[in-house]
Structure 1
């Protein structure tokens, strides 16, 4: 008799738990996808002189450039990309690393990366150098010395574990102001990044769908 009386209550409880689970799934925020245009990453020096100048810091959570000393994920200066994880490299004017973010460069198309692969190993900056390799052909770009033009290498995608343990992917589309399709290295200003990214704002979620 007691069992029969409790059965509707149990069924109702199970239904409520099921609805609660559905609500949790539906409560996930949407993946954020956008393109950043003309992120200026100037530097001083070069041509035999020490390179210096502040890095331009970017935060995926806000989708904005930031002046914060702590709330940033990646930073740009010239062709160099820093990540807010690890230690300083010894480069002049670089920001302090205050978090445990990581970054890795993979060969794929932006669309094909629908999630962070389970075996992904994220690298951090260190005294040995930046996690994103520097130099033409070594990381994200090629530089043609005959034309003085720098182009992103097609199919090079950067995956990021952010300062708060979330995930992003981004692809650099251009290094010149307004992303010209026909680059004139003597007219088009360089050190202006255009890149597209996808960022999953949900903790523990590695997908970009």
Structure 2
């Protein structure tokens, strides 16, 4: 458990993220790249913020956990799921809140987060560099001074992974921003959050495009070092 409270970058308003575009942009990854690419991970696609959305329930979105090691996910629907799946170090990040757009680390010392009172030691700092250019994790003092519990909407504070317009309700991922993490078990990792819409569209135009389907890339250093060179 950490000795200080980490800052939490939480979206400030309720958001609707039902958007998208035509075409797909499935990023080509160098075969020598050791990073893991996850395309169109379905989150809580049965929930909706508003009434009358075909085939969806108007309710809070269930939290979805994800393990960097196994790529396993678990849906947290109730207290039984929480007791079974959250209070352990077997997951590293969770997708929560509106349209599963808030990405939070597994840290048992941060009240109000999914892993609270569990053994996880996750932490996160933002590095404004492209993923492949982030080659080492910062010093522990950076995590201590600037660590975040999670990231969501960037409302101008530079702390989120997407921009969101209250005028058109469109979510636009922030490019060339990387998130360096301590995993639930303390290894260093880096994460690139790419999209929340099905097909990883490069341009968003359609308010009713399927969401949330998460596309992201990550690399975990398992030898305990700060080396984050993924190629």
**Fold conserved between structures, TM > 0.5:** yes
Distance 1:37 1:171, change over 3 A: same
Tell me which residue corresponds to 1:182.
203
2:215 to 164, 188, 194: 194
Tell me which residue corresponds to 2:60.
52
Tell me which residue corresponds to 1:170.
191
Q: Give distance in 1, aligned partners of 2:34 and 2:129.
A: 20
Matches of residues 62-81 of structure 1 in structure 2 within 5 Å?
Answer: 62-66=70-74, 68-69=85-86, 70=88, 71-77=90-96, 78-81=100-103
Cα RMSD between the aligned structures?
2.8
Q: Give distance in 2, aligned partners of 1:82 and 1:194.
A: 16
Distance 1:55 1:35, change over 3 A: same
Q: Over residues 27-84 of structure 1, what are the superposed CA-to-partner deviations in whole Å (9 max), with x where a residue is unaligned?
A: xxx994121111233385646xx97232111111223324633211110022111211
Matches of residues 107-126 of structure 1 in structure 2 within 5 Å?
Answer: 107-118=128-139, 119-121=141-143, 123=147, 125=149
1:132 to 151, 159, 162: 151
Distance 1:205 1:121, change over 3 A: same
Unpaired runs of 5+ residues, structure 2, are 1-31, 51-57, 76-84
More strand, by proportion? 1
Q: State which drifts further: 143-152 or 73-82.
A: 143-152
Query: What TM-score, normalized to structure 1?
Result: 0.69
Q: Give distance in 1, aligned partners of 2:59 and 2:129.
A: 31
Matches of residues 132-171 of structure 1 in structure 2 within 5 Å?
Answer: 132=151, 134=153, 136-138=155-157, 139-171=160-192
Alignment pair present for 1:87 and 2:119: no
- Give the C-alpha shift of residue 124 in structure 1: 5.2
2:122 to 101, 113, 116: 101
Distance 1:117 1:149, change over 3 A: same
* Maintained 8 Å contact 2:66/2:94: yes
Tell me which residue corresponds to 1:208.
228
- Which of these two proteins has the greater Rg computed from alpha carbons? 1
Does 1 or 2 have the higher relative contact order (CA < 8 Å, sep 6+)?
A: 2
Distance 1:97 1:41, change over 3 A: farther
Unpaired runs of 5+ residues, structure 1, are 1-29, 126-130
